[in-house]
Amino acid sequence: MQKSDYKNMWVYIEHDGKTAAPVGLELCCELRKLCDTTGDKLYAVILGDLPHEECDKVRECGVDGIIYVSGTGYDYFNTDAYANAFTVLSKKYNPSAIFVGGTINGRDFAPRFAVQLDTGCTSDAMELEYDPETGDIQFIEPAVGGKIMAVITVPVLRPQVGTIRPGTFKYAPTGRKAEIDVICEEINFDPEAIRCKHIDFTPDDIDPELDIANADCIVCVGNGLKDSEHLERYRELARLLGGKIGCTRPLFDRGILPYKLQIGQSGVMVKTKLYISFGVSGAVNHTAGVDADLFIAVDKNPEAQIFNYCDYGIVGDMDQVCDEMIEQLKARQK
């Protein structure tokens, strides 16, 4: 088969049986635009039961069709049945591309069905473009720690598989199409053949300090931090500003702060009113995760890329600036 024989783009709608995860809707919205360029039809793929009102949310994102998959094996996420469903569907319908939200489970099964289909898989694209000459999607993503942007394509094989991190694209539904193609497929996967079985699930305790996605103010500490003993002043500054503390990847790697505080493409995407970074270099992977009304950067390196993203910057010693800010804020509060 020629690659031109593969048509239409699919989005996997991840859900927990009650609600659709935002990332699937975000992907539908973004791919609506891409499909308008390529002339492909956009299909959402839903495995297992999802309430009508949630399916309506998918329709509002401008999809041309929905593929509903029923059958055994989809009660709870498992790699075997989920990967199998996409392999079976893809062999039957030959889509040009399949997009899966880059959640933990999405990243678990998408690369696996890519191997079953013997095709190329990309992860973490931040932009999607179409090359009309080759008919390939250009998956554009930061690489080498955010120093460069790389264009990645699947030049020969089909479907083009991509996992995309939640929050990468905006949820901006364009409204439902007058006609939506509804396809119902029954694909049974023997529950006994599921090799990794769900036993139980315990939700994490909710710690408000670890919930920073929509905090009004974030004090973000980067790799410029000398050690964990120097961290307390940043916590104090965050408290004085009524905000929360966040960090960049190296601080998680160094074991200083937990993963849930890691801001950026591979961590939490934050939307905040005030964002102040201390000792953050400004790699694209991090800045892609920051949406701030007011962005302030403090770093000792005048060449740091972070100064390209800030509204106001201070070149200086992060600890000293933080201490002085604490003094000033305390003085104002008296």
Partner 1 sequence: MLKILVCVKQIPDVDLVKMDPETGNLVRAGVPTLTNPLDLNALEAAVRVKEQYGGEVTLITMGPPMAESTLRECLAVGGDDAILISGRPFGGADTLSTSYSIVKAADMKGKFDLIFCGKESLDGATGQMASQLAERFDASQISCCYSIERIADGRIRAVRALEDGKETVEATLPCLLTVEKDNFYGRLPNLKAYLDAKSAPITTYTENDIDGLDLNKIGVPGSGTIVPKIYPPELPEPGQIISTGSAKSDARRLVEILAEKGSI
Which one of 36, 49, 253, 291 is in contact with partner 1 (CB under 8 A)? 253
CB of 192 to partner 1, least distance (A): 11
Q: Does 88 bind partner 1 (CB under 8 A)?
A: no
Residues 201-230 that bind partner 1 (CB under 8 A): 201-204, 217
CB 166 within 8 A of CB 103: yes
Nearest to 131 by CA among 154, 159, 158: 154
Residue pair 7/95 in contact by the 8 Å Cβ criterion: yes
Kindly tell me which residue out of 91, 129, 150, 226 binds partner 1, with binding defined by CB under 8 A: 150
Is residue 94 a contact residue for partner 1 (CB under 8 A)?
no
Min separation Cβ 176 and partner 1, Å:
29
Sole binder of partner 1 in the list 34, 151, 210, 269 (CB under 8 A) = 151
Q: Where do we find the tokens 């890329």?
A: 305
- Quote the least distance from Cβ 332 to partner 1, whole Å: 7
- Distance, CA of 241 to CA of 256 (rounded, Å): 22
Tokens 């539908």 locate to: 28
Sole binder of partner 1 in the list 34, 88, 157, 256 (CB under 8 A): 157
In angstroms, the CA 38 to CA 148 distance is: 27
Residue 66 CB, nearest approach to partner 1 (Å): 25
When asked if residue 279 is in the footprint of partner 1 (CB under 8 A), the reply is: no
- Give the pairing of strands 127-131 and 136-143: antiparallel
Is beta strand 217-221 parallel, antiparallel or unpaired with respect to 181-186? Answer: unpaired
- Tell me, what DSSP letter sits at residue 53? H
List binders of partner 1 among 282-311 (CB under 8 A): 284, 294-297, 302, 305, 307-311
CB neighbours of residue 206 within 10 Å: 7
The correct pick among 1, 104, 178, 184 for binding partner 1 (CB under 8 A) is 104
Output b/e per residue, 165-185; b: 16+ Cβ within 10 A: bbbbbebeeeeebeeeeeeeb
Residue 316 lies near partner 1 (rule: CB under 8 A) = yes
Contact call for residue 127 and partner 1 (CB under 8 A): no
> With contact defined as beta carbons under 8 Å apart, do 55 and 46 qualify?
yes
Instruction: Looking at residues 185 to 204 of the shown chain, list those that interact with partner 1 (rule: CB under 8 A).
Output: 195-204
* Secondary structure class of 245 (helix, strand, coil): strand
168 touches partner 1 by CB under 8 A: no
Whole-angstrom distance between the N-terminal and C-terminal Cα of the chain?
Answer: 75
Residue 217 CB, nearest approach to partner 1 (Å) = 7
User: Shortest distance, CB of residue 207 to partner 1, whole angstroms?
Assistant: 12
Site for partner 1 in 51-80 (CB under 8 A): 79-80
Residue whose CB is less far from partner 1, 70 or 138: 138
